[in-house]
């Protein structure tokens, strides 16, 4: 190499800066290693550096505290519905949803010992609920213990033959556990949607979703219909609508709505502006590429 070439070559310097940026990108995810959240993070971006956190709240706070560039958290499951804590955190903090990932969930029973050794079955509460029938049929006398993540259950189970974890194949490999049973969830078609949260809205791609939260001015007949009608008149497809208590008054609700389109689309922005005048609160959580 010619002395000084790298230092003075703008093209080489730009490539170097790009790789430095990639190396600096840190994604917060639910840990420890082997979690479905880790799988979602790798599906979303294959070049990231991961930082693991104990629970959803810690993962979100890591972004707020600038410890990570993005955080990935579960928001809903096809069997058990939405994750209440994630929805609450989206309302409480100024966060932007910048992407989503759909992960197929396939639970396994993992242990160091054999089936007859097991006295404790551990997993994340959602995973335990998704495997309710299997647990009831096979562990009538065992203790069912909820923990913060499926991968944490696997890590704990690696320390004792009388403990088993409901977790992924990746967790079995990571923590040296035997797979005693595969696909133990109640329904095989089991998917979890993860959202990627950041601080800036990505530009429209042509295949986008927008997530909002709104609160009606007052609970009166037809109030929600008036809002939904605005979307219907503009032929805007709503992919999800869900109510959550405001935690202020009994019967007072927030509505979480996902719709097809991006706030850079004129028809979406005009409709949201019209709705804003009819509600007590409208919060745009983000516009982002829809999972394919």
Question: Would you please indicate which residues are annotated as catalytic (active-site) residues?
Answer: 192, 194
Interatomic CA distance for residues 186 and 176, integer angstroms: 25
Q: Can you name the residues that pair with 97 across neighbouring β-strands?
A: 197
Q: Which of 156, 157, 154 is nearest to 174 (CA)?
A: 154
How far apart are the C-alpha atoms of 267 and 261, rounded to whole Å? 9
Report how far apart, in Å, the C-alpha atoms of 292 and of each of 4, 75, 209, 286 are.
46, 17, 12, 18
Distance of CA 73 to the CA centre of its chain: 3
Per-residue buried b or exposed e for 228-245, using 16+ beta carbons within 10 Å of the residue's own CB:
eebbeeeebeeeeeeebe
Where are the extended beta strands (E) located within 36-111? 49-53, 70-77, 81-82, 96-104, 108-111
| Runs of H (alpha helix) within 104-206 | 125-130, 132-138, 150-157, 169-175
Distance separating alpha carbons of residues 27 and 244, to the nearest angstrom:
28
Classify residue 54 as left (phi > 0), alpha (psi -120 to 50) or beta: alpha
């Amino acid at each position: 190499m010619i002395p000084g070439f790298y230092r003075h070559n703008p093209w080489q310097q730009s490539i170097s800066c790009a790789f430095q940026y990639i190396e600096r990108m840190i994604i917060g995810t639910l840990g420890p290693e082997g979690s479905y959240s880790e799988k979602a993070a790798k599906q979303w971006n294959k070049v990231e550096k991961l930082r693991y956190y104990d629970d959803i709240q810690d993962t979100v706070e890591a972004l707020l505290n600038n410890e990570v560039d993005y955080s990935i958290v579960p928001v809903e499951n096809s069997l058990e519905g939405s994750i209440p804590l994630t929805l609450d955190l989206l309302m409480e903090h100024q966060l932007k949803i910048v992407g989503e990932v759909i992960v197929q969930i396939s639970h396994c029973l993992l242990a160091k010992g054999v089936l007859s050794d097991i006295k404790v079955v551990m997993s994340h509460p959602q995973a335990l609920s998704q495997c309710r029938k299997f647990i009831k049929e096979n562990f009538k006398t065992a203790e069912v213990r909820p923990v913060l993540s499926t991968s944490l259950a696997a890590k704990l189970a690696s320390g004792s033959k009388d403990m088993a974890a409901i977790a992924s194949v990746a967790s079995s490999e990571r923590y040296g556990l035997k797979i005693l049973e595969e696909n133990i969830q109640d329904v095989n078609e089991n998917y979890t949607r993860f959202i990627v949260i950041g601080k800036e809205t990505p530009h429209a791609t042509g295949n986008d979703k927008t997530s909002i939260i709104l609160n009606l001015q007052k609970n009166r007949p037809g109030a929600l219909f008036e809002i939904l009608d605005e979307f219907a008149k503009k032929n805007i497809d709503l992919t999800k609508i869900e109510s959550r208590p405001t935690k202020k008054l009994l019967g007072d609700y927030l509505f979480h709505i996902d719709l097809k389109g991006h706030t850079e689309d004129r028809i979406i922005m005009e409709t949201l502006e019209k709705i804003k005048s009819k509600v007590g609160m409208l919060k745009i959580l983000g516009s982002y590429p829809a999972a394919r």
